[in-house]
């Protein structure tokens, strides 16, 4: 076997073992791309973790009230669906009944602007809405949970 610097197959292998030759070219570019994609994803994940978990109120990382309202409305919606699935003759749940049943944390009863979430049902489909910044339901700034 010839000992070329670009070919690593010249290295000695244990007796009876042969090493496959490694093709050059496109595979190297693809593996480099995958490596940089993985490293970029890890870096973005680390930055997101640091932003959300380590110092949320600083450096502009805090969640806006509309984002918090949407997230909490989805939690209220999940609790309302559980409430409806708990009994076949259950009526559409309001915030008070969800809190009383223990399905909803009392801290989630109010949106970031201090108004109660509006829960409506259409059959088994549950919709939850926050009145938004102006605290009036049915206006353009309402925040939907779906």
- Mean pLDDT to the nearest integer, 71-82: 89
Whether 8 maps to a domain, the answer reads no
Is it the case that residue 47 has pLDDT exceeding 80? no
Backbone angles phi, psi at 131, to 5 degrees: -70, -15
Give residue 123's domain range: 65-144
Q: Is residue 11 within 8 Å of 25, Cβ to Cβ?
A: no
Backbone angles phi, psi at 14, to 5 degrees: -55, 155
- Are both 126 and 58 inside the same structural domain? no
User: And the tokens for 134?
Assistant: 């102006």
Q: How many distinct helices (H) and strands (E) make up the chain?
A: 3, 3
57 compared with 67, residue with greater pLDDT: 67
Give how many domains the chain has, as a whole number. Answer: 2
48 compared with 43, residue with greater pLDDT: 43
Is it the case that residue 45 has pLDDT exceeding 80? yes
pLDDT score, position 83: 86
User: Alpha helices, DSSP H only, in 11-145?
Assistant: 26-49, 65-86, 95-100
Would you give the end-to-end CA distance of the chain in angstroms? 66
11 compared with 1, residue with greater pLDDT: 11
- Are both 106 and 73 inside the same structural domain? yes
pLDDT digits (tens, 9 = 90+) for 78-87: 888 888 887 7
């Amino acid at each position: 076997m010839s000992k070329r610097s670009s070919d690593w197959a010249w290295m000695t292998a244990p007796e009876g073992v042969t090493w496959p030759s490694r093709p050059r070219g496109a595979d190297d570019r693809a593996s480099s791309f995958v490596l940089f994609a993985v490293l970029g994803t890890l870096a973005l994940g680390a930055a997101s973790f640091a932003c959300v978990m380590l110092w949320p109120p600083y450096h502009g990382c805090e969640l806006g009230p509309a984002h918090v309202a949407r997230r909490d409305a989805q939690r209220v919606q999940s609790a309302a669906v559980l409430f409806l699935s708990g009994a076949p003759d259950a009526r559409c749940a309001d915030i008070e009944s969800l809190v009383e049943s223990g399905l909803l944390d009392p801290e989630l009863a109010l949106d970031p602007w201090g108004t109660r979430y509006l829960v409506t049902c259409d059959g088994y489909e549950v919709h939850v809405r926050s009145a938004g910044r102006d605290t009036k339901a049915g206006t353009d700034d309402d925040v939907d949970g779906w």
